[in-house]
């Protein structure tokens, strides 16, 4: 997956896939890559930043060709804590 944007600043990269941490443009929420990472991980895969610079950014996404066992996520943990 690649784009032709301005690249990702160094100070944002360590928290790139965390919600509300990487909004690089005004009006952005910082949710896009966090949601993408959650979806890829839910399928047993991985997403990583491969390259970024003035000519754009490249991400690698890998999803295994197998059935992934679903685990209880953060919402499930919060519900269990309330019970």
pLDDT computed for residue 26 by the predictor:
65
Residue 7 to residues 4, 50, 51, 56, 80: CA-CA distances in angstroms? 8, 12, 9, 5, 40
Q: What distances in angstroms separate CA 40 from CA 21, 34, 35, 50, 62, one per listed residue?
A: 19, 10, 9, 16, 8
Name the average pLDDT for the chain: 80
Of 32 and 23, which is predicted with more confidence?
32
**Taking the domains of the chain in order of start, what are their residue ranges?**
10-82
Determine the pLDDT at residue 79.
Answer: 46
* pLDDT value, residue 80: 47
Q: Which residue has the tokens 């790139």?
A: 16
Across residues 7-28, what is the average pLDDT?
Answer: 78
Q: What is the pLDDT of residues 35-71, one digit of tens each?
A: 999 999 988 899 999 999 988 999 999 998 876 666 6
Tell me which fold the domain 10-82 belongs to.
Heat Shock Protein 90 (3.30.565)
Q: Which residues contact 24 (CB under 8 A, 6 or more apart)?
A: 8, 9, 12
């Amino acid at each position: 997956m690649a784009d032709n944007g301005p690249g990702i600043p160094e100070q944002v990269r360590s928290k790139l896939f965390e919600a509300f941490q990487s909004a690089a443009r005004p009006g952005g929420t910082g949710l896009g890559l966090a949601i993408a990472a959650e979806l890829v991980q839910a399928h047993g895969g991985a997403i990583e930043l491969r390259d970024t610079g003035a000519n754009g950014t490249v991400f690698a996404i890998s999803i295994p060709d197998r059935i992934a066992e679903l685990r209880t996520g953060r919402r499930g943990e919060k519900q269990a804590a309330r019970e």
